[in-house]
Amino acid sequence: MSVSLIENDYTVPALFRGLTILEMFNSRERILTVQDFADHLGVSTSAIYRIVTTLTEMNYLEKVAKNTYQLGPQVISNGFSYLASRDIVDIAMPHLNDLRNTVSMSCHLTIREGCDAVYIYRSFASQRLSVNVPPGTRIPCHCSAVGRVLLTGLTETELEQLYQHVRLDGYASDAPRTLPELKQTIAADYQQGWVEHRSDYATAIATALRDHHNHVVAAINVSGPDAVMMDERQKESVREALLSTAQRISFELGNLRKMTEKIRIR
């Protein structure tokens, strides 16, 4: 299937073709030929020769064989530099507000500092029965949904080093009380891809946000009163909306992997 430019006095055909060539690359199409470019644009190979040459000279394309190319380092460098310059709150905020409007429950964004999950944004639902955790709140990771999600970003060795001098037996009874139990819990959370946790007559469901390296950089949750979250169909609907939101935010953070894709345990 070829694409064509709707021409008017303000369009630049060469620029259109150059940008279209760059957009052809994705997670499945990593290496393409000049013939692929020409077929997609519906032109001859000679018609795009100078465009391909220019993109290669500027390092937006990289030649890997005769008439065969992959994305060059300039695309990757510029793209990741831009993503890194955007604050995660700015990226997540509109998505969490949409999620709140969809599920009619409060949503939160957290990051990890040591053994604590720190709340850095709240999209508050105005319903009478709402969970309200203000930004700046710190909660121990091992006994909260968002915290356990954040811990899934650590290797087993990193988890051991973080908790080697931390006592876990002074918290709620449903939280892990020993390091081996914590490791087992986090491994199961990692496999599942989301965490559900109940406390103080409320239930939270949380999942991770990942960057372009597929590293866990933050966690988001939906928190609602047990009176609402006890309905299994409602809870499943909330979980699906949460996972979809996390996938969209992660995509804006540069992550191209599907959130539902199973990642091999390290």
135 and 209 housed in the same domain: yes
Q: Is 136 left (phi over 0), alpha (psi -120 to 50) or beta?
A: left
pLDDT at 80 exceeding the cut of 80: no
The domain that contains 204 carries what CATH number?
Answer: 3.30.450.40
What are the pLDDT digits (tens) for 13-23?
Answer: 899 999 999 98
Nearest residue to 32 via CA among 79, 9, 64, 75: 64
Average pLDDT over residues 98-106: 93
The predicted pLDDT at position 55 comes to: 95
Domain boundaries, position 192:
86-252
Laid out side by side, the sheet with 31-33 consists of: 31-33, 68-71, 61-65
The domain that contains 37 carries what CATH number?
Answer: 1.10.10.10
108 and 229 housed in the same domain: yes
Of the two residues 200 and 157, the one the predictor is more confident about is 157
Place of tokens 């470019």: 37
Average pLDDT over residues 122-147: 84
Residue ending a domain, among 53, 81, 109, is: 81
The predicted pLDDT at position 222 comes to: 95
| % of residues, the chain, pLDDT over 90 | 58
186 and 90 housed in the same domain: yes
What are the pLDDT digits (tens) for 4-49?
Answer: 665 566 778 899 999 999 989 876 788 999 999 999 999 999 999 9
The predicted pLDDT at position 255 comes to: 86
190 and 116 housed in the same domain: yes
Task: Yes or no: say if 182 and 168 are a contact pair by the CB < 8 Å rule.
Answer: yes
pTM of the model: 0.66
The predicted pLDDT at position 264 comes to: 32
103 and 211 housed in the same domain: yes
Helices (H), the chain: 13-23, 34-41, 49-57, 73-85, 88-103, 145-151, 156-163, 179-192, 226-229, 232-252
23 and 123 housed in the same domain: no
56 and 98 housed in the same domain: no
149 and 35 housed in the same domain: no
- Which three-class secondary structure state does DSSP give residue 121? strand
37 and 143 housed in the same domain: no
Note whether residue 264 is domain-resident: no
Note whether residue 5 is domain-resident: no
The predicted pLDDT at position 81 comes to: 55
**pLDDT, mean over the chain:** 86
Of the two residues 109 and 77, the one the predictor is more confident about is 109
Number of domains observed in the structure of the chain: 2
pLDDT at 106 exceeding the cut of 60: yes
The predicted pLDDT at position 208 comes to: 97
